[in-house]
Amino acid sequence: MTSPQQLLHQTLLLDADDTLWENNIFFERAIASFISYVNHRTYTPQEVRLHLNRHEMATIQAHGYGVASFRKSLVRCFEELSEGPVTPQMHDEIVSFTAAISAEEMELISGVAETLEYLKSRHSVWLVTKGNENEQRGKLERSRLAHHFDGVEVLAEKNTAAYRALIERHGWDLSKTWMIGNSPKSDVNPSLAAGLRAVFIPHPHTWIMEEAELSMQPDGERLVEIANFTELATIF
């Protein structure tokens, strides 16, 4: 039975990675293997990670998100830290750390499929994610969740300008449109700045590049924080 507190006929924009399915844990495993392989004599593992973070930021700006971009970051970081020439064998070993990412079985976050089925019966549900379009659409197909969505938007970046462009293109009602995801940086803060409402679902392994303080909003009802995906059924 519908709770009187539940909202009706909303537009729900759902993030994908680490909101619907696990994603960052696979990258973290690759990074751990890379740092172990580097085994730097001077830098600590934490310092090697900081070097890698810097390379990731630069590579993303030049090439966008995705496994191919991540692979470039690993190679360039290794080239910077290596005390000798990078041999073809070394290059192949580094590239191998990323192979498992694309090969991993899709691991849905608990309760996602059932909750999506319920939400789709009551609301307009969209996937709004960022990254490499082929990779993101491929993950959606492998997840077997595609039939729950009225539309899919794969953005190069999720910032305030991108959200405003989506709002203008689709004519969404700001008072009834919610961005839902695990990233303060990409899902919550810029969508609120664009005038949308937002639901924040923290994930214990959110990518370090997505960490940020939640924006303080003058209207507290525009931002809701919940512990897990299934709680969306109590709101919507």
Tens-place pLDDT, residues 2-54: 444 678 899 999 999 999 999 999 999 999 999 999 988 889 999 999 999 99
What is the value of pTM for the model shown? 0.88
At 3-17, the pLDDT tens digits run 446 788 999 999 999
pLDDT digits (tens, 9 = 90+) for 108-122: 999 999 999 999 999
Average pLDDT over residues 56-72: 91
What angle (nearest 5°) sits at the alpha carbon of residue 45, between those of residues 41 and 50? 115
Instruction: Tell me what pLDDT residue 105 has.
Output: 82
pLDDT at 176 over 50: yes
- pLDDT band for position 221 (cuts 50, 70, 90): low
Residue linked to tokens 């919550």: 188
pLDDT of 5 reads 63
Q: What does the pLDDT read at residue 219?
A: 61
What pLDDT shows up at residue 113? 97
Structure tokens at 96: 């191998």
Q: Can you read off the two tokens belonging to residue 82? A: 């290596």
pLDDT at 1: 31
Q: How many residues does the chain have?
A: 236
The pLDDT score that the predictor gives to residue 76 is 92
Q: Is it the case that residue 226 has pLDDT exceeding 70?
A: yes
**For the chain, what is the mean pLDDT?**
91
pLDDT, position 2: 41
Query: CA geometry: angle at 115 spanning 133 and 203, to 5°?
Result: 65
Do 232 and 180 touch, CB atoms closer than 8 A?
Answer: yes
Report the distance separating Cα 69 and Cα 38, nearest Å: 19
Label residue 228 by pLDDT band (50, 70, 90): very high
Q: Which domains does the chain have, with CATH numbers?
A: 11-21+106-235 (3.40.50.1000), 25-103 (1.10.150)
Per-residue model confidence (pLDDT) at position 207: 87
